[in-house]
A and B are shown apart, each in its own frame.
Chain A
Amino acid sequence: MIEFKNVSKSYRKGIKAVDDLSLTINDGEIFGFLGPNGAGKSTTIRMLTGILNIDEGQILLDGKDIEKEPIEAKKTFGYVADDPDQFLALKGIEYLNFMADVYNVENRKEKIQQLSEKFEIADALSSRIESYSHGMRQKIVICGCLMHDPKNWILDEPMTGLDPRSSFDLKEMMRKHADEGKCVFFSTHVLDVAEKLCDRVGIINKGKLLFTGTLQEMRDTFEENASLEELFLEITEND
């Protein structure tokens, strides 16, 4: 479970990148975090993962405060950043072993083989990540994130660069993860994916959370039987 309690963050005086955000993502659901460019999505995710300090409020992951119990809180999630160009000097297998050591993964061989075969990068593991294509880099980062089987998945634009097969596999894994009573929090610009996959969505714009709920609740609120894309545009344009 992920909880945001009155979270705010400012980069400059008077301008809040995230303004009094309160939100709970329950176990067993896939939560889509949507918003236009510069809305505050990445800032929110960075605060959630401990990259950014919180100015006001509190963020809890499975009851652990990200600022007061950082190590314990960080063990509860796996994070895929929006930039897959990470650890380029390492070989794929070295990166996965490193992540396995960080998270103290047991059965690492089985986990690595299972994930790398699932995402079809098993043959590339002995090569350096810098030689991978964009999509392969995204896949190796996803493998590294999921290896320790974290309860909370935090994914920032995870489908970018993935081929259709891998994108389908990831969506299936996300669904299965949530169905097992765990939590998936992900941001995306692809509203079709969010519409089909998410149990609930949150729409943020200019630092403020404009809507939280299911797609049906959104339709009921705006009294329109429109697609998520149309409702999203209406919500963010009217703000």
Chain B
Amino acid sequence: MIRNIINLTKVFLISSFSRGGNRKKKNNIGKIALYAVLFIYLAGVFGYLSYEVLSGLIAVKQEEAFIGLILMAIITLVLFTTIISTMNVLYFSDDNLFVLPLPFKPLEVLCAKLNTLLIYVYMEEMMLGIAPLAMYGWMTKQNILYYLFMVIVLLLVPVVPLLLVTMIVICIMALTRGIRNKSLVQLITMSLSVIFSLMISMVSSSMNTNEDVMAMMNKAGSLVGIYKKAFVTMPMAIDALTKYDILSLILLIVISLAAYALVSIFAQKLYYRGMLGSLYSSSGISDKKLNEKSYQSKGLMFSYVMKEIRVYFRRPTFFVQLILPCLLLPAFTIGITYFSIVSQMGEELSAGLDFIYADSDFSGYVFAVLILLVMFISMYSFISTIAVSKDGHDAYAMKYLPVAFHRQLICKMIPDIAVCLLSYAVVAVMAMILFRVPLIHVLLSIPVAVLYSILHGFLILSDVRRPKLDWTSEIQIVKKNMRMMFTMAYSLLNMGLVAVLAFILNMDLYVMCAILSVLYLALDVLLYRYIERKDIALADGFE
């Protein structure tokens, strides 16, 4: 049985990380290097933050409270990410269809799934847990025993919270005989994770001073007390790390293992009941009757654009990774900036803004800030850079349908342009309401925003030459697309141009508007002529 569990765990992990496609050794080394760099970067960030917090706590001899805070953060992360990943790993994984006909016991499958979830948690915990706890050990001059205890605690602390969430999900799924709408579940869980990430950014950016940090720490301290009561293993983990309490460590080990065993044994039948109920997704099934409107023609271009938009909105990964950030980012960015400035300047903000808007020397700066915001937001719109790749093998239809290739490209660019413009509309409205930006600046920014957004849409040219059509999971396209670097570099280049015009050459808003409008109009026309002339030759990259 143990061997089956280990083998199944390996298979689930390998299939979730590889997800099809050719894996070249070269790419793997590159990926490992990239992850190593990312880990070092994040470890550095968390290590630095921990140093700042610990310095304050050590000064008031409250350093042991830091352990409680870190463990609370780990448990919160485990709770949140387990909610998101449990559904996908336990119920909506493609592995289930392959595993069920094989002679594995439900207990073995459930244990392997739990191990898979645990390993996901460990990977996230590595970034959040190791650096702060190691920093504590270094700053409080702990001995080798501390680091040994640290490793054991990091392995065991996530177990009980993970099992708690998993048990709740298993019971719900068993009682409701499974939730069949996989797309809806993925959409909700992924949207929550994006919103959660943005909220974390908002909170951390509001901590500008040491006083803000200590105020936050005091609030967090009271939460630690609640967590200690809710999760029985947390006090044991804290005692093990702060007092080298061997008994607490043993209890932590025993309780974690016992919880794992109990949940696995009691939940196995419930798990299968829910799993079998959700095997075939009901996403997309509808018994609506068709009517006259169902057969109406809306024109080729409209029809094509709607086809594109439907894919972005009906695929949770595309919606959450491509559409949602662009729609939420403006509101969060402007909101964070406004509250951050207000918290520092208070009533002086209003007077400051009046001064800026009254002086015509600053008109160019205000206009430039609006345009920079357009470009900043468009930096996070990757729709055009995957517009062809996202179709997978459907992209070949572009070559045999009797529609000019360049017209198909334009249709594929439109969702990107629309999202950029919609995001800018939100920015403009919020800027007018919160920062009282004069109407003339907003009106003059509109043609530049429109023309720039169209230019941004032409980033599709980076995809059409060599689209990645062989993918089995949408996340491969969204997350592993190096062309996103083009989008960022391209936006930064344009931001640099605007910065030079406004802050170095000190142009006023009318001159800037004229220059940028003419420039982007010329580029748009040139690129349109280019794709019109090249047409189907642009598709030589995918055969």
Contacts and interface: CB of A to CB of B under 8 A. Distances in A.
B290 A93 contact: yes
Contact of A87 (B297, B394, B400, B536): B394
B310 A89 contact: yes
Interface stretch (A23-31, A122-130, A183-191): A122-130
Interface string B373-405: 000000000000000000001101101111110
Contacts of A81: 396
B402 A75 contact: yes
B396 A51 contact: yes
Contacts of A129: 284
11 contacts: A51-B543, A86-B397, A89-B314, A91-B286, A98-B307, A104-B300, A109-B292, A126-B286, A126-B287, A126-B294, A131-B283
A113 to B, nearest CB: 8
Contact of B536 (A70, A75, A83, A86): A70
**Which range contains the number of A residues in contact with the other chain?**
35 or more
A46 B396 CA distance: 10
Contacts of B300: 101-102, 104
Contacts of B290: 93, 125-126
B303 interface: yes
B540 interface: yes
A100 B288 CA distance: 21
A53 B543 contact: yes
Nearest to B540: A53
Nearest to B396: A51
Contacts of B307: 87, 90, 94, 98
Contacts of B540: 53
Contacts of B315: 89
Contact of A71 (B285, B289, B402): B402
Contacts of A211: none
B298 interface: yes
The 8 A-B pairs at the shortest CB distance, nearest first, are namely A128-B284, A74-B402, A101-B303, A109-B295, A131-B284, A49-B400, A126-B288, A75-B402
A113 B139 CA distance: 75
Nearest to B395: A51
Contacts, number: 102
Interface residues of B, number: 39
A51 B399 contact: yes
A112 interface: yes
Contact of A108 (B287, B295, B304): B295
Most B CB contacts (10 A, CB to CB) among A81, A85, A101, A131 go to: A101
B360 interface: no
Interface in A97-126: 97-98, 100-104, 108-109, 112, 123, 125-126
Given A85-B393, A126-B286, 13 more contacts: A49-B399, A71-B403, A81-B396, A86-B397, A91-B286, A101-B299, A126-B289, A126-B290, A126-B294, A128-B284, A128-B285, A128-B314, A131-B282
A104 B315 CA distance: 28
Contacts of B284: 91, 127-131
A79 B399 CA distance: 12
Interface string B268-307: 0000000000000111111111101011111110011011
B396 A94 contact: no
Contact of A127 (B286, B306, B394): B286
B400 A74 contact: yes
Given A49-B400, A53-B540, A86-B397, A94 B295 contact: no
Nearest to A107: B295
Contacts of A91: 284, 286
Contacts of B311: 89-90
A50 B303 contact: no
B299 A112 contact: no
A129 B307 CA distance: 13
Interface string A9-52: 00000000000000000000000000000000000001001111
Contact of A79 (B285, B288, B400, B403): B400
Contacts of A79: 400
B380 to A, nearest CB: 23
A65 to B, nearest CB: 13
Contacts of A50: 399-400, 536
Contacts of B283: 128, 130-131
A98 B297 contact: no
B319 to A, nearest CB: 11
Given A49-B400, A89-B311, A91-B286, A97 B295 contact: yes
B399 A100 contact: no
Nearest to B313: A89
Contacts of B536: 50, 70
A112 B473 CA distance: 32
Contacts of A102: 300, 303-304, 401-403
A91 B306 CA distance: 12
A147 to B, nearest CB: 12
A91 B299 CA distance: 18
Contacts of B394: 86-87
Given A102-B300, A126-B290, A71 B295 contact: no
A79 B400 CA distance: 8
A100 B304 CA distance: 11
A88 to B, nearest CB: 8
A83 B393 contact: yes
B314 A93 contact: no
Contact of A94 (B281, B299, B310, B393): B310
A26 to B, nearest CB: 22
A104 B403 CA distance: 11
Nearest to B543: A52
Contacts of A51: 396, 399-400, 543
Contacts of B298: 101
Interface in B510-543: 536, 540, 543
A128 B394 CA distance: 15
Nearest to A112: B295
B280 to A, nearest CB: 9
A103 B402 contact: yes
A81 B395 CA distance: 13
Nearest to B392: A85
B282 A90 contact: no
Contacts of A101: 297-300, 303-304
A89 B314 CA distance: 6
A139 to B, nearest CB: 16
A187 B207 CA distance: 67
Contacts of A75: 402
Contacts of A123: 287
A90 B307 CA distance: 7
A69 to B, nearest CB: 11
Contacts of B294: 93, 97, 125-126
Contacts of A52: 543
